[in-house]
Structure 1
Amino acid sequence: MLTAIHPKLPMRSKAATYAYYTQLGFTNIGLHDYPGYLMLQKDGIEIHFFEHPTLEPSDNYGQVYIRCSDIETLYQQWIAAGVAIHPNGALATKPWGQKEFSLLDPDNNLLTFGEAV
């Protein structure tokens, strides 16, 4: 039976990825510092990253959809912290019944956050 999913996304720099995601409130959950690999967690989700030093961000189509609660508070917290929102991803209610917003991490991985309305 399926119980959880932990997406694996590419990163060019472990230090830059760690800095970006800790700004979002993620913490490192790796028991060891594995070369070229990073495991981060926030609330009930994990995202894993593998090193891809030659990644061209404009060629990266990594995407994750993260369901959340209290999306408006989350959005305002990150705006106040100076987190850049995707240029086309401001908080909005979508026709498919979700309130969503999106971020792009330093490697162009798209993170979309959504809450049912």
Structure 2
Amino acid sequence: MLTDIHPKLPMRNKDRTKEFYIDKLGFRQSGGDFDGYLMVQKDNIQIHFFEFKDLDPAENYGQVYIRTNQIERLYQSLLESAVDIHPAGHLEDKPWGQKEFALLDPDNNLLTFGQQS
């Protein structure tokens, strides 16, 4: 029955969110252009954003876990593109059998990327 999941995260500024996900992370805009709403996609991953202009990033706990099959390549490409990796989220093997790294978007949404070790 269930086929996909498309997380919805808050954003304060659509242009800034678009720039981060498209220009820095390599996503593309999908699904049309709507006021206060943004959809981006890369490979089979789609993330939706809703406008929340009064969002306090320090109080935002939005999180998404994204699985990948080429984590070292992805990590290196983001480093080469000068994307800031979360200070506590550099690429490492975790005790739960995943190799992971994490970063924060402009609104403090945490993106964790993982691959089975």
- State the percentage of identical aligned residues: 63
Amino acid across the alignment from 2:91:
L
User: Considering only aligned residues, what root-mean-square deviation do their CA atoms show, in Å?
Assistant: 0.5
Q: Deviations over 1:12-51 (max 9, x none)?
A: 00000000001101000022x2100000000001000000
User: Which consecutive residues of structure 2, in runs of 5 or more, have no partner in the other structure?
Assistant: none
Q: Which residue is 2:20 aligned to?
A: 20
| Aligned counterparts, 1:30-41, within 5 A | 30-31=31-32, 33-41=33-41
| Aligned counterparts, 1:7-86, within 5 A | 7-22=7-22, 23-31=24-32, 33-86=33-86
Structure 1 outlier segments of 4+, above 3 Å: none
CA distance in structure 2 between the aligned counterparts of 1:60 and 1:111, rounded to whole angstroms: 13
Q: What's the TM-score once normalised by structure 2's chain length?
A: 0.98
Shift of 1:60: 0.1
CA distance in structure 2 between the aligned counterparts of 1:74 and 1:16, rounded to whole angstroms: 22
Q: Which residue is 2:6 aligned to?
A: 6
CA distance in structure 2 between the aligned counterparts of 1:74 and 1:54, rounded to whole angstroms: 32
Q: What's the TM-score once normalised by structure 1's chain length?
A: 0.98
Aligned length: 116
Q: Deviations over 1:53-77 (max 9, x none)?
A: 0000000000000000110010000
User: Which consecutive residues of structure 1, in runs of 5 or more, have no partner in the other structure?
Assistant: none
CA distance in structure 2 between the aligned counterparts of 1:18 and 1:80, rounded to whole angstroms: 20
CA distance in structure 2 between the aligned counterparts of 1:42 and 1:70, rounded to whole angstroms: 14
Amino acid across the alignment from 2:27:
F
